[in-house]
Amino acid sequence: MGIHKIIILAFILVLHTEARPISYSGGTTLMYQSDSMSDSVYVHYSPTYKYSIGIENVDDKIFNKNKNYLRLTYLINRKNTDISQRNLYFQSGVLVDDADGFFYGIHGDWETRRWFSGFGYKDTNNSFGQDYTDQYIQLGVAPYVGDYGDLHTWIMIKTKKNSLTNTQSTYPELKFFKGAALVKFGYSDKTEWDLHFMYRF
Amino acid sequence: MKKILLTLLLASPLAWAEQDHANMHDHSHEGHLHDTMVDGKNLDVSAERFDTFMEGLADVNVAIVSVKGMVCDFCARGIEKTFTRDKSVQKIDVDLDNGKVMIAYSKTKEINFKEIEKQILSNGQNMSDLQVLEI
């Protein structure tokens, strides 16, 4: 079964899957991401705990274009236990000025206060006919477990693959997290810097 | 086909809502400021943490909430924000290590299991137990 069929099947299952919270109602999040393919600024708002809607400005370095996406992220499934949380999300976006340009995908994670694992798949359809996919897998460990409000540190390893540039790279990442702010950066000699910043209001 | 699928997916979350009460245990206890409460059940938080929380508080009822899925500061922050919107909340403490949230309410506030369960759920976690102490 191809990945497209799996995603379509997952979407159909969503219709029958009980929704779990995505975040607290009324939360706004600012995200900035930069890597060898694009720089982006993304602001999203969660009207309820089930989903977030937002707008993302993307500076596409490959096609030298600036794009604005309307985005939706939806929590397909969440499993909470005493020590862990597991999530599966659907993500999508459509260009503000060109409905022929859109992306969709899924990403998931499982984490405790010590361990983290995650994956993602994204299919991007450009209006000018250059479609491509991004995939990643991520593993992480916290060298110490801090209390609420402390500086939290994660040491991670990420493998990502892009079908457009036909590159696959594996590299270490460091994530720092305190209060409402998170910053993460990794470096690979193939894809160079991968930066991520997030602030939740 | 992809556009149709995308449109369906964009619209579908609006139609999905659920309240998951599975694995919830409707326990409510009243007691006093001791390691062990009057019904013999142990206090769900350490005495030291509880005493620190109670500093400066008087005439309050304290809810000790056991929470599943509280694994990071974002979870804790969301819970803090959710409960501090309630004007009857005097103080809140989130213990990530043990998955406990202590909430001090004004005496006039009637602590309601279902209401707290709903507030925890609105933040994305699940409540598994609730102790209520009248101070």
Spatial separation of the C-alpha atoms in residues A148 and B75, rounded to whole Å: 10
Question: CA B49, B88, B121: angle at the middle one, nearest 5?
Answer: 75
Which residues, 6 or more positions from A6, have their beta carbon under 8 angstroms from its beta carbon? none
Cβ distance of A92 and B77 shorter than 8 Å: no
**From CA A150, how far away is CA A140, in angstroms rounded?**
18
Structural element, H or E, at residue A71:
strand A65-80
**Average pLDDT in the A155-168 region?**
92
A21 and B121: CB-CB below 8 Å?
yes
Q: What integer pLDDT is reported at residue B39 of this predicted model?
A: 53
List the single residue in B2, B99, B123 with the smallest CB-CB distance to A125.
B2
Distance from CA of B10 to the nearest CA of A (A): 7
pLDDT band at residue A2 under the 50/70/90 scheme: low
CA distance B73 to A40: 24
pLDDT number for residue A16: 36
A9-67 pLDDT tens trace: 444 333 333 333 345 678 889 999 998 889 999 999 998 878 999 999 999 998 899 99
Question: In chain B, where are the structural domains located?
Answer: 25-134
C-alpha span between B8 and B30 (Å, rounded): 49
Residues in chain A: 201
pLDDT at B41 (0 to 100): 63
pLDDT digits (tens, 9 = 90+) for A70-116: 999 999 999 999 999 999 999 999 999 988 999 999 999 999 999 99
Pick the CATH number of A3-200 from 3.30.300.350, 2.102.10.10, 2.60.40.10, 2.40.160.40: 2.40.160.40
Q: Is B96 close to A147, i.e. CB distance below 8 A?
A: yes
Task: With CA atoms as reference, report the closest residue to B99 among B122, B130, B135, B132.
Answer: B130
Other CB atoms within a 10 A radius of the CB of residue A40 amount to: 17
pLDDT score of B21: 36
Residue with tokens 């699940």: B126
A17 or B41, higher pLDDT: B41
- Give percent above pLDDT 90 in chain B: 48
- Between positions 15 and 34 of A, the ones with CB within 8 A of B are 15, 17-25, 27
pLDDT in tens, A169-193: 999 999 999 988 999 999 988 778 8
pLDDT at residue B30 in the model: 43
What's the rounded mean pLDDT across residues B108-133? 92
> 3-class SS at A16?
coil
The average confidence (pLDDT) of chain B is 77
Alpha carbons A68 and A96: distance in angstroms, whole number:
6
| Band of pLDDT at residue A3, cut at 50, 70 and 90 | low
**B12-16, B29-33, B102-106: least confident range:** B12-16
Contact between A92 and B10 using a beta-carbon 8 Å cutoff? yes
Predicted confidence band of residue A201 (pLDDT cuts 50, 70, 90): confident
Q: Is a pLDDT exceeding 70 seen at residue B25?
A: no
Q: Which residues have CB under 8 Å from B17's CB, separation 6+?
A: A19, A50
Q: Is the pLDDT confidence value at A122 over 80?
A: yes
CA distance A60 to B80: 38
| Helices and strands: H and E segment counts in chain A | 1, 12
- Closest among B66, B69, B55 to B132, alpha carbons compared: B66
Half-sphere exposure of A81 (CA within 13 A, CB side): 7
ipTM of the complex: 0.77
pLDDT of A176: 95
Q: Do A23 and B78 touch (CB under 8 A)?
A: yes
pLDDT of residue A10: 43
Per-residue pLDDT, A167 = 87
Backbone angles phi, psi at B76, to 5 degrees: -65, -40
* CB A82, CB B99: distance < 8 Å: yes
Res. B17: pLDDT tops 60: no
- Give the class (CATH, top level) of B25-134: alpha beta
Spatial neighbors of B34 by CB under 8 A, at least 6 apart, are B43, B47
Size of interface A-B (CB pairs under 8 A): 121
Whether B96 and A113 lie within 8 Å, measured CB to CB: yes
The whole-angstrom distance between A32's CA and the closest CA on chain B is 17
How does residue B37 score in pLDDT terms, banded at 50, 70 and 90?
low
Nearest to B124 among A49, A72, A177 (CB): A49
Nearest alpha carbon to residue B46 among B95, B83, B79: B95
The partner residues of B92 in beta bridges, in order of sequence, read B103
Residues whose CB is less than 8 angstroms from the CB of residue B130 and which lie 6 or more positions away in sequence, other chains included: B27, B28, B63, B64, B65, B66, B113, B116, B117
Query: How many residues are listed for chain B in this entry?
Result: 135
The pair phi, psi for residue A165, each rounded to 5°, is: -90, -5
Give the pLDDT confidence score for residue A127 in this predicted structure. Answer: 76
> Which residues in chain A have their CB less than 8 angstroms from residue B81's CB?
24, 27
Average pLDDT over residues A131-146: 95
Interchain proximity A180–B99, CB inside 8 Å:
no
Partners of A189 in beta bridges: none
Q: Residues B42-50: what's their mean pLDDT? A: 82
The yes-or-no verdict on residue B50 having pLDDT over 50 is yes
Least confident of A99-103, B16-20, B90-94, B108-112: B16-20
According to DSSP, the residues that pair with A92 across neighbouring strands are: A72, A104
Are the CB atoms for A156 and A186 separated by under 8 Å?
Answer: yes
CA distance B42 to chain A (A): 18
